[in-house]
Structure 1
């Protein structure tokens, strides 16, 4: 569900354009940015099993980022930061928080049961990772729908559509690279790669939006 997470960011941008695109893009992966840092430190744990269908990740312990209360806490924190630090309107700040929480919803669809409903509690997940073709179709389909909504919104504002094409093309290329490369069994390397990918996407989102305004 890598690119599927970005569907929430693009949908939020179409619904509430006052929020900068980069804030929504970072928000949709904020949980995984934190997860990358915590697996580097060892506070959360994973292993890799390449015999598994779909994702090879075995997510053993990640209560601070991927539990239901953990995800809610990150979402609330994002709303507060978006309002107090970025000075976004309340509606845009709330959309940032909703995008953060959307990560848990999307993960619930695809993860094997590894998402805690409460700290130390029952783990859930519908397991679409076990069915790679439908899972990829769902992720790309969600992204396509959200991209169409963002393109429509830009059209109503008489804005160029090239930022939509550029950013979505980048995401699809990143998805293909992720599918072709095997998961790194080293937590430090995997966490660092994940964080770098999300930050590059955030920087690109800021760039295409700024260039789009200039055009």
Structure 2
């Protein structure tokens, strides 16, 4: 799952707007940010199988990011850091942590069984990746719902404008590019390209936050 994760970020921003958008955008993919780095270092492993339907990724070993206990630890750490370092209200910091944890739950829907229930434990995943059309419909539907909730909240706050639609269009554009780009290369190139995309989207969200602060 890629763009579907951002649905959690946008829905969280609608539910608890006191945290900056960039914290939610980073939070929803924080696990994959860590995964990208660990894949490049070889601490976590992947390969590619072009014969697979949908995603060609074979996620062989990723206990430090995508096991359930690891996801909980990432979520708790993110929530605490958001509260302490950014001086966010406790509820906003908690929401950031929940967005981080949502990554594992959404991955459970689409991944083949490669998510450990505990370190070294059985691996689970419902495998929607094996059904590309329904899986893409799921991601787009989730994003649409998250964007609708975010847009509604922005309307209540009097923040109409083109920035929000353009941000959603960016997410859709990156999703389409990912669908059209053949999978392959090595772990380093895969990790580096994924990390660059995640950080680019965070940077755009940060720029939106900054522009809206100036406008106020």
1:213 to partner: Cα distance? 4.2
Which residue matches 2:74? Answer: 74
Which residue matches 1:13? Answer: 13
1:164 to partner: Cα distance? 1.6
On the 8 A contact 1:47/1:185 being kept in 2, the answer is no
| Structure 1 Cα separation of the partners of residues 107 and 50 of structure 2 | 20
Number of aligned residues: 215
Which residue matches 2:28? Answer: 28
Gaps of 5+ in 2: none
| Structure 1 Cα separation of the partners of residues 53 and 13 of structure 2 | 33
1:34 to partner: Cα distance? 0.2
The one-character-per-residue Cα deviations of 1:165-200 (angstroms, maximum 9, x if unpaired) are 011000000001100101233000000111110000
The one-character-per-residue Cα deviations of 1:29-76 (angstroms, maximum 9, x if unpaired) are 000000000010100001001110110000000000000000000000
Which residue matches 1:138? Answer: 138
TM-score (norm 2): 0.97
Q: Counterparts of 1:172-191 in structure 2 under 5 Å?
A: 172-191=172-191
TM-score (norm 1): 0.98
Gaps of 5+ in 1: none
- Helix, strand or coil for the counterpart of 2:59? strand
1:80 to partner: Cα distance? 1.0
CA-atom RMSD, angstroms? 0.9
Which residue matches 1:88? Answer: 88
| Structure 2 Cα separation of the partners of residues 87 and 183 of structure 1 | 41
- Helix, strand or coil for the counterpart of 1:139? helix
Which residue matches 2:99? Answer: 99
| Structure 2 Cα separation of the partners of residues 172 and 212 of structure 1 | 22
- Helix, strand or coil for the counterpart of 1:47? strand
- Helix, strand or coil for the counterpart of 2:158? coil
1:89 to partner: Cα distance? 0.5
1:161 to partner: Cα distance? 3.6
- Please say which of residues 174-183 and 156-165 is displaced more in the overlay: 156-165
Which residue matches 1:56? Answer: 56
Q: Following superposition, which runs of at least 4 residues in structure 1 exceed 6 angstroms of deviation?
A: none
